[in-house]
């Protein structure tokens, strides 16, 4: 499993200075209104790309005094939307997310820290359809203040690792890419 952020050229969000001052320590909560979890998968033998997103998210984060970051984003699997009702029904079925049995997909950050480039780099797990897979990620910090921090990362997974092997005649690719934009605000 591989991950990559947008590739370097981000502007300094100021997060490094905030972290150095210890201004980010404490509890944070995901702002679902300004956060998105999207996915895309090549379909019809790579003729098109199916794009979708999850409408319902929750999450929280914790920044320790030493700057270590943990957290998680809980995704309501049934809230997926690809703008095609029949496809969405299929994606909710046992061929894919099996939402009746596994209503949530969970992205857990088990350890992460700011790197010298001011990105949040770390590792964790992705749980979906009852399977857990380790992930590594490097998230760009696209905005940062004492009260809110916005992260953006891309994570590419092999969906067959989650038992999602449906692809008659390899019509749909196994490689799925997730784009996460997560805005966290101070938990009061």
Confirm or reject binding of residue 4 to another protein (CB under 8 A): no
Question: In angstroms, what is the minimal distance from the CB of 173 to another protein?
Answer: 12
CA distance 125 to 32: 20
Among residues 27 and 165, whose Cβ is nearest to another protein?
Answer: 165
Burial of 73 (0-12, 13-18, 19+ CB in 10 A): buried
Q: Which range, of 14-22, 41-49, 92-100, 119-127, touches another protein by CB under 8 A?
A: 41-49
Query: Could you tell me how many residues of this chain bind another protein (CB under 8 A)?
Result: 15
Q: Which of 83, 133, 156, 165 binds another protein (CB under 8 A)?
A: 83
Neighbours of 89 (CB within 10 A): 9
Among residues 90 and 136, whose Cβ is nearest to another protein?
Answer: 90
Q: Which range, of 2-10, 18-26, 77-85, 111-119, touches another protein by CB under 8 A?
A: 77-85
Among residues 51 and 136, whose Cβ is nearest to another protein?
Answer: 51
User: Are residues 158 and 126 in contact, defined by beta-carbon separation less than 8 angstroms?
Assistant: no
Binders of another protein in range 43-62 (CB under 8 A): 43-44, 46-48, 51
- Say how far residue 6 (Cα) sits from the centre of its chain: 14
CA distance 76 to 47: 29
Q: Which range, of 2-10, 95-103, 144-152, 165-173, touches another protein by CB under 8 A?
A: 165-173
Strands (E), the chain: 2-4, 26-30, 36-43, 48-54, 57-63, 69-76, 80-81, 104-114, 120-128, 131-144, 148-158, 175-186
CA distance 7 to 139: 10
Q: Which of 86, 101, 116, 188 binds another protein (CB under 8 A)?
A: 86
Residues binding another protein (CB under 8 A): 43-44, 46-48, 51, 82-84, 86-87, 90, 168-169, 171
């Amino acid at each position: 499993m591989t991950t990559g952020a947008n590739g370097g050229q981000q502007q300094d969000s100021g997060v490094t200075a905030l972290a150095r001052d210890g201004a980010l320590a404490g509890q944070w909560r995901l702002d679902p209104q300004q956060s998105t979890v999207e996915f895309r998968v090549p379909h019809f033998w790579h003729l098109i790309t199916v794009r979708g997103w999850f409408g319902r998210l929750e999450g929280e984060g914790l920044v320790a005094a030493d700057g270590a970051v943990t957290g998680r984003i809980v995704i309501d699997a049934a809230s997926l939307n690809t703008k095609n009702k029949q496809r969405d029904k299929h994606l909710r079925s046992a061929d894919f997310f099996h939402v009746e049995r596994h209503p949530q997909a969970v992205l857990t950050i088990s350890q992460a820290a700011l790197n010298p480039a001011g990105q949040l780099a770390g590792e964790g797990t992705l749980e979906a359809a009852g399977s857990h897979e380790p992930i590594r990620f490097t998230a760009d910090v696209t905005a940062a203040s004492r009260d809110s921090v916005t992260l953006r990362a891309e994570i590419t997974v092999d969906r067959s690792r989650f038992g999602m092997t449906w692809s008659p005649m390899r019509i749909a690719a196994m490689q799925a890419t997730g784009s996460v934009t997560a805005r966290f605000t101070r938990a009061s």
